[in-house]
Structure formats: C-alpha cells, structure tokens
Structure 1
Amino acid sequence: MRRLLVVVPLALIVVALLVGNAPAQELKLTVEEVRQRVLQSNRGVQSAKEEVNKAKSEIVTARAGAFPEIDLSSYYRRDFSIAPVFFEADGEIQQLKFGFKNNFGASISLRQPLWEGGKVFTAYKIAKQYHQYAQVGADRVGAVAVHDGELLLYRAILDEARVAVLKQALKTAEKNLEVVEAHHSQGMVSRFELMRARVERSNLLPRILGAESDVRLSKKRLQSFLDIDLDQPVALVEPDDDTSLESLGALEFFTDTALASRRELKQIDLMVDMTRRAVRVARAGYFPSLAAVSNYSWQSQSDEFTLSKNEATSFTAGVTLSLPIFDGGVTRGAVGKMKAEHRQSLINQQELTDQIRLEVEQAYDQLVQAQKMVQIHRETIAQAEEGLRIADLRYQAGEGTLLEVLSAQTVLTDVRTSLAEATFAFRRSLAALKLASNIDTIGD
C-alpha cells in the first residue's frame, strides 16, 4: 500500500512533466482566420467597443435631465451648551434659554424640470446620435484592423517567399558547384572558376539567415497584432489568388459603393446633424427655465435622546422661474462656437467625399497595375528558367562559361523575388480597394 502511495504521485508528476514539455501544436493562419481573430482579439477593436459603451452611458446622462431630482437628507445635532438670550424687563436684565440638547431632522426634496429652453430633449437626441457615431466608428476601426491584419499576413508570406527563392538559388548554386568541381578534377576549368563557384554559394548563406530572421519577426508582429502568444508556433497559409481580375467591376461601381456605404461618410453626416442640434442647445441659454419643486421635512427636539418628543413636520410645493438677463456674453460665445463647428463639419463633409473618390481611384489603379506586373513576372520566370537550363547545358558541354551560368542564375533569382513582391503588391492593392470601397470581395 505504501509503495502504491509513492508510485502513483510519481507517475502523475512524470505525466505532467511530459505534457508540459510537449511541443505546442502549430497554429495555421489563413486570411479568414486572421480576420476573425482581429475582430475578436485585437486591442484597438476592443478599445473601440469600449468607446461605444461610453457613448451609451452618455445617453443615460442626457436622459436624466428630463427626470425629477429627488434628494433625501437627515441630521442630528447635540448642543452641549445652549447660549441664553438676554433682555431687559422692569429695569432688570433677564435671560432665557431657547432650544434643546438633542436635535433631529430629515427632509426629502423634489425638483422636476418643466422647461429648459428645449435643451434637455435636444441633448438627448445628440447623445443618441453620438452613440450611433461611436458604433459606426467602431465598425470602421474593425475594418481598418482587418485590413492591417491582412497586410501583416501578406508581409510575412512575402518574407517566406524570399527565403524559398534564396534556398532555390542555394540549391542551384550547390548543383553548379558540383559540376565545376567535377570539371576542375578533370583539368577542364581553372582554380579561379572553382573558387568563384564556391564564393557564389557562400554568399547566399548570410542572405538566407537574414531572410529567415525577417520571417520570424514578421510572424511575431502578426501574432502580437492578433493577441497570440509570441511563443506559439504558427504556419502561414498562402491564399489562392485569382489575379486575372476578370470579375473586377468598373471604377464607377466601386466609387458609387464607397460614397453610399463608407463609414466615415455616415460619421460625418451624423456630425453635421449633431453640430446643428448643438447650436440649439447653446441658444437655450437665452431662454428661461421653469421647474416644479416640493419639500417635506420633519424635526424633533428634546433634552432626552428620543425621537418621539416635540415633533414637527412641514410640506411645501411650488414652481421656480429663472430668467437669464446678463451672463457676460457666455451664451453668445457658446452659440458662435457651435455655429462655427457646424460650418466646419459641412466643409469636412465635402472634403471627405472628394478624398474617398481619390482613395478608390488610387486603389483601383494600383490593383490593375499590380495585376499586370504579376503577369509580366510569371512570363519572365519561364524565360529565365529556360535561360538557366541552356547556360547549364552549354557549360557542361564545355561550350559556355561559368559567368553565363552565374548570370542566368542571378536573373532567375531576381525574377522570382520580383514575382513574390508583385504578388504582395497585388494582395495589398486588393485589400486597399476593399477598404476604400467598403466591399468585402471582388464582384460583390
């Protein structure tokens, strides 16, 4: 039994250590997975959602101005020494003491605004509009965050592609070195050519190390943006791109869609209306305010510590009217400020419309240009591969030179790198067009 009590805990400890030391499962990140994680975990998106909650609280605050204010208060006072009142009677100074040692009291008061120059109702409408403004802003933050998350993914994929291109070049350089070494052993090439082939191979190694470092950093940036543990292994899944753009609509379609649905335009429309209403709120300072008031109070006084002696109550009700006569120009200044902000919002509205048109047109043109570059580099790769194949055959047959082979190899590496960069530019331009036009997919 004792052995069992010792063996079982030890077995559990060993299992726990094995589980703890097991390598973490690799997390695959697709474009769709990145989008979902951005909306769920990105810190900027979460902060924007809290801004919506703040705006919702402003509605409650503005609405409170239309409800009555009810206050309850109470007190207790102990008079340790009561000051007498002196007076003269029949030629003699007399004194009397008024009051008791213990004083209790309580009151409840009510104030109900009846008219505040329309300020309360207008402020409530502004608060509701600001909640919509914040919600639209949060949606915009989410869209921008998704766009940024996609770019981080595409950047990391580009860095991986650069590593793959360099490793292909290294493989070709090693194969080329084997051929040169064979020729050198047969006395067909000089030692200079052998050293040159070795240097060409060695020069690729530090470039590969640097490119691999770029991949690690790109992944870390993406993981940080998605709020993923930086020690979590991730695998990037490259999207299947349709670079033909056969279903790409006309520029006018994207422009019209952007002008009809861009969140910034919805926000500026709300801002124009809010500033217009804010002028009315400021003007309310010129008007009188009317409120109903009521108060009920109770008090008790006694030399003994009791609430049941010498009690008295009172109840009052009425209305109060406050008419502003002169405030030193405070209201006038507030009205002028709100009018200026309203005019400013109208100017910003027109400027934003023009800016959105330009954003859509720029993103559209960049996408078309990026697609052409992808097509050009794909065609060039086939030619560069054929050029390297011919240079290799010529060199192996003793008709070509090592310089021809190295030049062809460099050209192929450059073209492959250019294709990876052009593909990244295409994806970046496509993401920019989606963001600018507020369209999720091409052709929708």
Structure 2
Amino acid sequence: MKFARHFFRSAIGPAAFILAATTPFAAPATEPPPPAPARIDLQTAIGYALEHNFAIRQARERIREQEGVVVEVKAQALPNVGAGGNYQFGEREISNSQPQSNHGWSLNLTASQTLFAGGGVRASIQSSELVREAALLDLKAVINAALLQVRTNYYQVLLARERITVQEENLRLLEQQLKTTTDRFEAGTVSGFERLRAEVAVANAKTPLISARNDYRLAIEALRQSLGLTTRRTESLDSAAEIVGKLDFEPVSFDLRSATESARANRPDLQRLSKLVAASERAITTARSGYYPRVAAVGGWEAFKGRTLAVSDGREGAFIGVQSQWDIFDGRATSGRVAQARSVVEQNRLTLVERELAAEVEVRRAYSSWQEATELVEASGRVVEQAEEAVRLANARYSAGTGTQLDVLQAQVELTTARTNQVQAYYNYNVAIATLRQAMGLTDALVQG
C-alpha cells in the first residue's frame, strides 16, 4: 500500500502537466461577416461567390485535408526517428537489474528506414497523390455548380424585377383606363357597368403585382444564400446593396457534337472519377504487399541504469541492424483485402461509365433547352410588337366610339401576357446558356484564368 500511494503521488504531477500542455487554447471569436458589395452586378456576384460561397470553401478544405493525407502517407518512405525513456519504481524482489534495486531507468534513440515493403509504400503514395488530384477536380466541379447557381439566382432577381415593372405598367394603364371610363360615365356617354368593369380590372391587376414583389424578395434571399453572404443585421440584401443588370438576348451558337466532345474532355466530375479509378488500381498493389516480407534498417542508441541511479554510472551503446516481418499465414486476410481492392476498382469503373452516359444525356437536355429558349425569345419579340399595336388600335377605336371597353381590356391583358412571356423567355435563354456551358465542363465565362 505504501508503494501504491508513493507511485500515484509521483504520477500526478507529470500527468497534470501533459494534460495542460495538450489542452487546446480557446478558439478565437468568429470573424464578423464580410460586408455586402455596394453594387452587385453579375461580375461582382461571381467574384464574391468564389471567395465566400460555403460549398466552394468546404471543397477547398477537403483539398487541404487530402494534402495532409499525402504528407502522412509519404512519411512511410522517410526515416522514422523516435526517442523513449522509462523510469520504474517497484519492489526490490522483482527487479531484473544487478545488483537488485527498487529503482530503474532506461533511455533510447531509435531510427528506422523501410527498405522493402512489397511495393505497398510506393503504391500508397501514388494513390494518395491521385486522390488529391481528384479533390482538385472536385473543387472545380463544385465551383462550376456553385457559379451556375449564382447565375441562375441572379437572373431570377432580374426576372422578378422585370415582372414587377410589367405589372406596374399594366396597373398604370388600367388605372388610366378607369379614369377615362369614369370621366365618360360622368359625362353620360357610358354606363355604370363599364365603369364597374374597369374598377374590377384595376383591382385584379394588384394581385399579380403583389405576387411579383414577393417573388422579388424571395429571389433576393436565394441570391444571398448562393453568394454566401452572411449578415447579423436585419436589413435585406436589396437594402444593403444595389443590384444592377438587365435581362437581354445575345445570340450564341452551339453544336451538339462539339458540346458532347467538350463534356467528355473537360467535365471535372468525369476527370475526377478517372483519377479515382487509377488510385483504386494502386490500392490493389498496396493490398498485395501483404504477401511479401517487410524489411527495415534500424539503428540507434540505448542507455540503462548502472550500479547507481546516477546517469554517469549508466550503461550505454549504439546499435545497427536489420528487422524483418513476414506474415507467412494471416488467415487469408491479405487475400480478402486484395479482393476488396479489385472490387472497388470495378465499382469505380462502372461509376465512371454510368456518369459518362449521364453527362451525355445532360448535354443533350441542356442543348434542347437552349434551342427551345432561342425559339421562344424570337417568337416573344414579335408577339410584344403585335400586342402593343393591338392596344393602340383598341384605344383609338374606343375613343372614336367604334370599339368597346372589353376590347381595350382584352388587348391590355394580351399585352401584359406578351411582356411577361418575353422576360421569361430572356431568363430561360440566359439560364439555358449557363446550364449548357456547365454541362460541357466549361468554367463560367466571367471567371478570370
């Protein structure tokens, strides 16, 4: 019991020191969120997202993690140097030293270098480097997907704003029509029914305007999320920054065959899977290394307690040699690991072929959507011109007394529909171009380098 009390009393001090030394410092306070740009156009949105989008930031961290894995694996090919020490206090009767003593100590410094490991070390290094390259390609794929989302959300904001403009213009024209009808009713040239119908038309026009304004607020929040713009303030992005830009139509040509070939050559997700296939093939060599002995050169220095506890009285010396370990029979564990590695290779190959097929289908769908959007833009432009002329003629006929109020209201409804369809077609066209480029494996057009 005296020995136990003495041992634990001696151990409390070093253990407490080790615990204090390894306890991490308190994490620094979270940095304040970056301010929103004062003016957000598409170029600014893309640039901001590259720095602050959370999916992109997480992908960068995965690369940093994989770089650490590469360093760890490469350490197997480098010399390993370690130092150790031991101090014992026990009963004299169980001591192995001569003369027997209830105290004992030893020190050692050992270095080892792997000489042969069946090719497993080299294969592991190659595999880890290929996985790191796959992580870089994954970052590129994440960037492409994130920037496509930013573009889509940015265009959605512009679309919602254009819809507000269309509905406000529609409401203004209907209110003007109501004023004209009211003046004519007071002059006794039209019935009260026509004034009532004009009032109903104005009231009905307020509903889509309210919905358009709400869609704009929601689009703003979706854009803020895709940008990675965090804020502790209560104001919206629209009040903190001016969002500029306009949906337009700039003709762009694509070829389906060239788009498909570009996808096979440039899509980072396909390139990433190719790297993973190559990495898994190296893993077979790593697994097969278990069939071979592992040989390492070792050397070092050791010191032991001598006749007294004094270090100067200790015994010491250097040594050098070769160590080998060979699992002649391991219960077929190595065979199992080889079978698993081969299965992983085949799974990765099948995944690559499946993804290549999915990429081709994705390109064809995006190309078809681009064709549809192009045709809709061209058609919607002609319809708006015709609808504007129809409204002008309906108003002229109504003023001349040869047309009815119903003709005017119907023409105005058709004009609003045509303008709404046009801005929707512009939105679909711009999104279709961005989606097709992403399907082709091309980086966003506004990304420098």
TM-score by length of 1: 0.85
Contact 1:31 1:239 (8 Å CA) reproduced = no
Could you say which residue in structure 2 is the equivalent of 1:386? 389
| Letter aligned with residue 187 of structure 2 | Q
The runs of 5 or more residues in structure 1 that have no matched partner are 1-23, 86-96
What is residue 111 of structure 1 aligned with on the other side? Answer: 112
Measure, in 2, the Cα distance between the counterparts of 1:146 and 1:227: 12
Q: Give the aligned partner of residue 415 of structure 1.
A: 418
Quote the offset at 1:173 in angstroms: 0.4
Question: What residue is the counterpart of 2:430 in the other structure?
Answer: 427
CA distance in 2, matches of 1:59, 1:35: 32
User: Aligned partners of 2:409, 2:393: CA distance in 1, in Å?
Assistant: 12
Structure 2 CA distance for partners of 1:307 and 1:26, relative to 1, 3 Å = closer
Question: What SS does the corresponding residue of 1:131 show, helix, strand or coil?
Answer: helix
Name the residue aligned to 2:353: 350
1:275 aligns with 2:269: no
* Contact 1:147–1:435 (Cα < 8 Å) also in 2: yes
SS state at 2:92 partner? coil
Rounded to whole Å, the distance in 2 between the matches of 1:33 and 1:410 is 37
Q: Tell me which of 229, 241, 244 is aligned to 1:234.
A: 241
Q: Is the 8 A contact 1:103 1:302 kept in 2?
A: no
Q: Is the 8 A contact 1:167 1:208 kept in 2?
A: yes
Q: What do the CA deviations read for 1:135-156 (whole angstroms, capped 9, x no partner)? A: 1110111111111100000111
Cα distance in 2, alignment partners of residues 71 and 396 from structure 1 = 100
1:52 positional shift? 0.6
* 1:239 Cα offset (Å): 4.6
Aligned ranges for residues 222-371 of structure 1 at < 5 Å?
Answer: 222-228=223-229, 229=231, 231-232=236-237, 233-239=240-246, 241-245=248-252, 248-301=253-306, 306-309=310-313, 311-371=314-374
Q: For residue 243 of structure 1, report the CA deviation from its aligned partner.
A: 3.8
Contact (CA 8 Å) 2:93, 2:100: kept in 1 or not? no
AA paired with 1:39? L
Contact 2:377/2:425 (<8 A) preserved: yes
> Is this contact kept in 1: 2:249–2:429, CA < 8 A?
no
The structure-2 alpha-carbon separation of the partners of 1:114 and 1:371, relative to structure 1 and needing over 3 Å to count, comes to same
One-letter amino acid matched to 2:148: H
In 2, the alpha carbon distance for the partners of 1:339 and 1:103 equals 52
What residue number does 1:66 align with? 77
**What secondary structure sits across from 2:305 in the alignment?**
strand
More displaced stretch, 386-395 vs 145-154: 386-395
Cα RMSD for the two superposed structures: 2.2
Match of 1:210?
211
Contact 1:156-1:218 at 8 Å conserved across structures = yes
Aligned to 2:136: 135
CA positional deviation for 1:25? 9.4
CA distance in 2, matches of 1:84, 1:430: 83
Contact 2:53–2:227 (8 Å) recurs in 1: yes
In structure 2, C-alpha distance between the alignment counterparts of 1:61 and 1:84, rounded to whole Å: 41
Contact 2:299/2:321 (<8 A) preserved: yes
| TM-aligned CA distance change 1:240 to 1:381, over 3 Å | closer
Instruction: Tell which structure's C-alpha radius of gyration is larger.
Output: 1
Aligned equivalents of 2:312 and 2:318: distance in 1?
19
Cα distance in structure 1, aligned partners of 2:363 and 2:403: 52
Out of 43, 46, 56, which is 1:45 matched to? 56
Q: Relative to 1, partners in 2 of residues 1:393 and 1:26: Cα closer, same or farther, differing over 3 Å?
A: farther
Overall identity of the aligned pairs, in %: 25
Rounded Cα–Cα distance in structure 2 between residues aligned with 1:436 and 1:72: 55
AA in 1 matched with 2:202: R
Gaps of 5+ in 2: 1-34
1:400 to 400, 403, 410: 403
Distance 1:418 1:288 in 2: 73
Residue 187 of structure 1 aligns to a residue whose secondary structure is coil
Counterpart Cα distance in 2 of 1:235 and 1:427: 21
1:9 corresponds in structure 2 to none
Quick one: distance in 2 between partners of 1:268 and 1:184? 74
Task: Give the drift of 1:184.
Answer: 0.3
Give 1:301 deviation, angstroms. Answer: 4.5
Residue 428 of structure 1 and its aligned partner are, at CA, apart by 1.1
Aligned-partner SS, 1:400 = coil
| TM-score (norm: length of structure 2) | 0.84
Q: Which moved more, 1:399-408 or 1:230-239?
A: 230-239
Q: How many residue pairs are counted as aligned between the two chains?
A: 403
Matched, 1:31 2:38: no
Contact 2:306 2:315 in 1 (8 A): no
Post-superposition shift, 1:26? 7.7
How far apart, in 2, do the equivalents of 1:223 and 1:185 lie?
A: 51
Question: 1:349, CA displacement in angstroms?
Answer: 2.4
The equivalent residue for 1:160 is: 161
User: Which aligned runs of 4 or more in structure 1 are off by greater than 6 angstroms?
Assistant: none
Shifted more, 328-337 versus 164-173: the winner is: 328-337
What is residue 198 of structure 2 aligned with on the other side? Answer: 197
